[in-house]
Structure 1
Amino acid sequence: MAWSPNNSKFAVCTVDRVVLLYDEQGERRDKFSTKPMDPKYGKQSYVVNDMVFSPDSTKIAIGQSDNIIYVYRIGEDWGDKKAICNKFVQTSAVTRLLWPAENAVVYGLVDGKVRLANIQTNKSSTIYATESCVVSLACNVSGKGLLSGHADGTIVRYFFDDEGSGESQGKLLTHPCPPYALVWGANSIMVGGCDKKVVVYGREGHVLQNFDYSRDRSEREFTVGVSSPSGQSVVFGSFDRLRVFNWALRRGMWDEAKPKEISNLYTITSLAWKRDGSRLCAGTLCGGVELFDCCLRRTIYKNKFEMTYVGLSQVIVRNLSTRTRVVLKSYYGYEIEEVKIMGRDRYLVAHTSDTLLLGDLLNNKLSEVPWPGSGGNEKFFFENETVCMIFNAGELSLVEYSNNEILGSVRTEFMNPHLISVRLNERKQRGVENNKKLAYLIDIKTIAIVDLAAGYNLGTISHDSKIDWLELNETGRKLLFRDKKLRVRTKAQPPEGQKEGKQ
């Protein structure tokens, strides 16, 4: 089973080697048949061992026991023609698949090799080789690191990019049994197998926690494991039971939640978690697919929005009238507190312990910036469609939507948005790549102009009367302002080498 990254398609491959495609509501919309490597051996000559969607959700890779990987183009819409666009012949059976990057499919083989298939060049290469069959593959939350579990208990780690963590590569640890249920969570690695134990390992392979069910006669071996998209919840499947573990951020350890027990479910053979975190699917040995709704809580906001807290650090915000939705997620894994919709129901604001999350619901632009605890006394202004203005304790901070760094901060006591003007790349100029300017009041008679991209003051303008309105033009080269006597002034930034002029 596999969910598409865009959350719109869910694929299930049956024992008949047919891939069924469902929409997110669980309604079957399409299907296609897989094919053997060599037609002369017939359709009964192989089984499908694993399946994964491409990052753009338009292709599906199928790993088969007859030593081949087929990549099918399924298109963007239901009913699009299905066609094989790539095939990679191997020396042994394909056991597991991952598709972490646009053109790279990672797969494990029975002979112990972990390889990389390039969709663009149609060529494959070996990342590393071991002497034991690959029984599981798992990637980290960012998709830039992977783990492979082998039949002899070995777990190997590999990074495409360690993102500055400095963690080691190569053999990480040896588990007491084959690690069929292997999960790389947000803060640790969790492994389950036929010994009826779930073991939590640290970044360098040392044991942190051990959940032992070997004395529970109703428990069977753990066959499969899956992590939530945030990496803060993990589910292991066994016989008639799903065991759920949640990361406790404050205590820095995993807590076991109440297990989900379903009589006559039998052995769980596959688990797939929807990318927005809202659904978990479990496939069983007897051919059943169970769809579970995943949320900590669900609330209705202003009778216009539905807030679904699918994890401590992830919230789905759905507009009840337009049916559009935005997935709000803390990149750092912090717990999201109350989410608010502000600014004519277009902008969202949420706090965590150390960051501030902002978003434009109309354009689906989200930001998370460092924001130490301020007591929630900020005032937000959304008059500008490209930037949020935040006032707190005499300081103005600017956050550009879709940018995860504060654009700029200045000291000012004047919180009226008519006394502040921000221009961000509103008109293209020859020879100017990044044009971001801010005009604001230092005091009631003095205007300061700042280049936000370069991070320095362009100058100040002193006036003889109180200023009650100001505005930069689109290029940020001209300033228009008005004083209390209703006199209007303009100020232009002169070409280089000339003195300033006043009009």
Structure 2
Amino acid sequence: MAWSASSARFAVCTAERVVLLYDEQGERRDKFSTKPADAKYGRKSYVVKGMAFSPDSTKLAIGQTDNVVYVYRIGEEWGDKKVICNKFIQTSAVTCLLWPAENIIVFGLAEGKVEKLVVCVTFFPLWGLSGSARGWAGGRGILSGHADGTIVRFFFDDEGSGESQGKLAVHPCPPYALAWASSSIVAAGCDKKIVAYGREGSVIQTFDYSRDSSEKEFTTAATSPSGQSIVLGSYDRLRVLNWSPRRSAWEEGKPKEIAHLYTITALAWKRDGSRICAGTLCGGVEQFDCCLRKTIYKNKFEMTYVGPSQVIVKNLSTGTRVVLKSQYGYEIDEVKILGKDRYLVAYTSDTLLLGDVSSNKLSEVAWQGSGGNEKFFFDNENVCMIFNAGELTLVEYGSNDILGSVRTEFVNPHLVSVRINERQQRGVDENKRLAYLIDIKTIATVDLVGGYNTGTISHDSKIDWLELNETGHKLLFRDKKMRVRQPPQATWQDEGSRETLEPLPVPKGLQMSWRGALDKSLE
């Protein structure tokens, strides 16, 4: 079984070698038959042992025991024609298969090798039958389990972690149930023991069920997308392990026991973490909801906490969903929806999560909490302005780094102007500018890309409104005497226009707004 990366498709391959395609509600929408490597041996000469969607969800890789890996193009819509676009002949039967990244397909062979497509590269020498393989969330590495109990790790990109690769540990039995979580590696097999290994292969925990006569051997395992929960399948039972960040240990949850379910042969976790599917020896597929709790927010949104660090926010009126997840595994305390029900704000112990529901742009920045005293302003669609203890912090939606931070006591959003790549300019890739008040009569402008001040404008009267143009090269401001000004040449240090405008009389009470028409008239 396999879930697509978009969570919109769920594929199941039966014992008859037919692939059934379901939507996320569990309704069957399509099907197609797999092909043998050589037609002269007949359609019943092989068994499908591995299946995985491509990262773009338009292709499906299938590994078979007749020494072949097929890649099917299944299209973007239900009912699109299914075409074999790649065929990779191998030297022995395929035992497991992963598709962790766009151009990388990883599979294990019965002769013990673990190889990578599209160009076949042998990762590990012959140790015996490859029984299992698991990918790390994000596609940065894989694990493989072998018949002699060897567990091997390989990184595509270790991102400077310094963790070793190659032979990691030797499990007491073949690790057919193998899972790679965010904090450790969990393996289980026919000895009825679940063992958690540390990042360098040391045993950190063991759950022993060998004296439980009702327990059978563990056959498969699956890790939640957040990496904080693991489900292991055996006979008539699913066991759940949850990672406790406070204890830095695995905690056993209540097992799910279903009579006459028989042996669990496959597990597949939906990419948003909300559901897990279990395939059985008798051909059944059971689908389970996975959540810690559900809440309704303002009667408009449903929040499903699928893990300590992951929340699914669903708009009840439109059905659209946003998956809010801490990339560092921190526990999410509370989620708020602000700014006319468009923007998400959530706290963890060390970070702040922000998101734009309409564009699905999410950010997580390092943040030391101040007891919820922050003030959030969402007037700008590209950036969130946060005022806290005399400091203005800017966070661009979709970026995990703070865009800029300055000291100011003026929290009115009309006294701050931010422009983020709002107009394409020749020869300029990134154009991010900020204008704000140092004091009531002094304006400062900042280049946020370079992180330096571009100018300071001093005025003889109190300023009550300011705004940059779309390129950030012009500044318009208004003082308490209702005079609209552009900065004079002598004090404007930017590379933009240096014209000087005479004060314009503005009727009392007129609401000023900077838009394209005003921008063009100044030019």
Other-structure match for 2:515: none
Alignment of 1:69-80 (within 5 A): 69-80=69-80
1:499 Cα shift?
7.7
Summarize the Cα distance change of 1:105–1:497 in structure 2 as closer, same or farther, 3 Å threshold.
closer
Q: Residues 140-163 of structure 1, C-alpha deviation per residue, up to 9 Å, x if partnerless? A: 222211111000000111111111
Other-structure match for 1:398: 394
1:429 Cα shift?
1.5
* 1:128 counterpart SS class: coil
Other-structure match for 1:39: 39
Other-structure match for 1:100: 100
User: Is 1:239 paired with 2:235?
Assistant: yes
Amino acid of the structure 2 residue aligned with 1:277: G
Alignment of 1:181-220 (within 5 A): 181-220=177-216
Count of aligned residue pairs for this structure pair: 499
User: Is 1:461 paired with 2:461?
Assistant: no
Other-structure match for 1:81: 81
User: Is 1:4 paired with 2:4?
Assistant: yes
User: Is 1:157 paired with 2:153?
Assistant: yes
Larger CA deviation: 134-143 vs 304-313: 134-143
Equivalent residues of 1:494, 1:500 under 8 A apart: no
Q: 2:453 & 2:168 partners in 1: Cα distance?
A: 52
Paired residue for 1:438, among 413, 434, 437?
Answer: 434
Paired residue for 2:485, among 474, 485, 489?
Answer: 489
Summarize the Cα distance change of 1:359–1:499 in structure 2 as closer, same or farther, 3 Å threshold.
closer
1:43 Cα shift?
1.1
1:502 Cα shift?
6.2
Q: 2:444 & 2:121 partners in 1: Cα distance?
A: 58
User: Is 1:324 paired with 2:333?
Assistant: no
Summarize the Cα distance change of 1:497–1:350 in structure 2 as closer, same or farther, 3 Å threshold.
closer
* 1:40 counterpart SS class: helix
Summarize the Cα distance change of 1:483–1:145 in structure 2 as closer, same or farther, 3 Å threshold.
same
User: Is 1:347 paired with 2:343?
Assistant: yes
Other-structure match for 1:23: 23
1:198 Cα shift?
0.2
1:226 Cα shift?
0.4
* % identical equivalent positions: 74
Q: Residues 304-341 of structure 1, C-alpha deviation per residue, up to 9 Å, x if partnerless? A: 11111111111111111111111111010111111111
Summarize the Cα distance change of 1:475–1:282 in structure 2 as closer, same or farther, 3 Å threshold.
same
Equivalent residues of 1:88, 1:124 under 8 A apart: no
1:125 Cα shift?
2.6
Equivalent residues of 2:464, 2:479 under 8 A apart: yes
* 1:407 counterpart SS class: strand
Other-structure match for 1:304: 300
Other-structure match for 1:133: 129
Q: 1:8 & 1:217 partners in 2: Cα distance?
A: 40
Q: 1:426 & 1:322 partners in 2: Cα distance?
A: 29
Other-structure match for 1:13: 13
1:129 Cα shift?
2.3
Q: 2:93 & 2:28 partners in 1: Cα distance?
A: 30
* 2:291 counterpart SS class: coil
Q: Residues 415-441 of structure 1, C-alpha deviation per residue, up to 9 Å, x if partnerless? A: 000000001111112222211110001
1:131 Cα shift?
2.6
User: Is 1:223 paired with 2:215?
Assistant: no
Summarize the Cα distance change of 1:171–1:490 in structure 2 as closer, same or farther, 3 Å threshold.
same
Paired residue for 1:295, among 291, 295, 298?
Answer: 291
Other-structure match for 1:109: 109
Q: 1:38 & 1:499 partners in 2: Cα distance?
A: 76
Paired residue for 2:309, among 298, 310, 313?
Answer: 313
State the TM-score, normalizing by the size of structure 2. 0.94
User: Is 1:258 paired with 2:239?
Assistant: no
RMSD across aligned C-alpha pairs, in angstroms?
A: 1.3
1:268 Cα shift?
0.3
* 2:221 counterpart SS class: strand
Equivalent residues of 2:232, 2:238 under 8 A apart: yes
Gaps of 5+ in 1: none
Gaps of 5+ in 2: 503-523
1:128 Cα shift?
2.5
Equivalent residues of 1:494, 1:501 under 8 A apart: no
